[in-house]
Structure formats: structure tokens, C-alpha cells
């Protein structure tokens, strides 16, 4: 795995690659959203550069969600279940993966900007 991929996967600071970006991962079952640090604990980098900085992360989140839905659709086609249940299953998967998508979209956005 490349260094960039490792930093994104481990949710590390885009500058130093050591500091944790999130101090709380969130839990969909406990209705807790992920909590992000304001600065890197290692190098002091400010994560939110300006108000509205993470607006672009919504597009990354959308792309992640579409990729997940396409993968689920292709896997669903291999099962004997009717496609009538696909919408319910997709909604369930999107809700369950919400904290993951939130964290990954922000991490990816920080690394590409």
C-alpha cells in the first residue's frame, strides 16, 4: 500500500501522517456522529482551513455512496432475492455506513486539497 493510501485508511493527518484526525469514530446504533479534532495533536495543522471547507467532502461522500450502491446492486444480482427488496437493502446499507462515509470523505478531501 502506498503512503497516501495508508494515511487515508488509518485516518491520519495529511501533513505529518501521524496525528489522529477524529477523536470519536461515531456509532450509528447509539446515534453518535463522528467528532473531528480542530488541530493535529502531532504537528498542529488546522484541519478546517475556512468556514465551508468541507463542502467539497459532500461530493466525495456522494461518490463513495454511489460506489457502495453499485457494488451492493451487483452482489444482489447474484443472489436469488427479488429486486423488489433492493431499495430497502440499499437504504439500510447507506444508513449503516454513514459514519464510515463521513470520516472517509473528510479524510480524502483533506488529502486532495
> Which pLDDT value is given to residue 71?
92
Q: What is the pLDDT of residue 34?
A: 92
Q: Using an 8 Å Cβ cutoff, are 71 and 65 in contact?
A: no
Convert the pLDDT of each residue in 54-113 to its tens digit. Answer: 999 999 999 999 999 999 888 888 888 777 788 888 899 899 999 999 999 999 999 998
pLDDT in tens, 36-48: 999 999 999 999 8
Taking the complete model, does pTM exceed 0.95, yes or no?
no
Grid cell locating 1: 500500500
- Which residue, 21, 11, 24, 15, is CA-closest to 41? 21
Rg of the chain taking only CA atoms, in angstroms = 16
Amino acid at each position: 500500500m502506498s503512503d497516501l493510501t495508508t494515511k487515508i485508511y488509518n485516518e491520519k493527518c495529511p501533513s505529518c501522517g501521524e496525528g489522529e484526525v477524529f477523536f470519536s469514530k461515531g456509532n450509528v446504533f447509539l446515534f453518535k456522529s463522528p467528532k473531528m479534532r480542530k488541530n493535529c495533536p502531532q504537528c498542529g495543522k488546522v484541519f478546517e482551513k475556512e468556514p465551508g471547507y468541507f463542502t467539497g467532502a459532500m461530493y466525495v461522500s456522494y461518490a463513495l455512496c454511489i460506489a457502495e450502491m453499485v457494488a451492493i446492486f451487483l452482489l444482489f444480482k447474484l443472489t436469488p432475492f427479488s429486486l423488489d427488496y433492493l431499495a430497502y437493502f440499499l437504504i439500510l446499507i447507506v444508513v449503516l455506513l454513514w459514519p464510515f462515509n463521513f470520516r472517509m470523505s473528510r479524510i480524502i478531501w483533506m488529502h486532495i486539497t
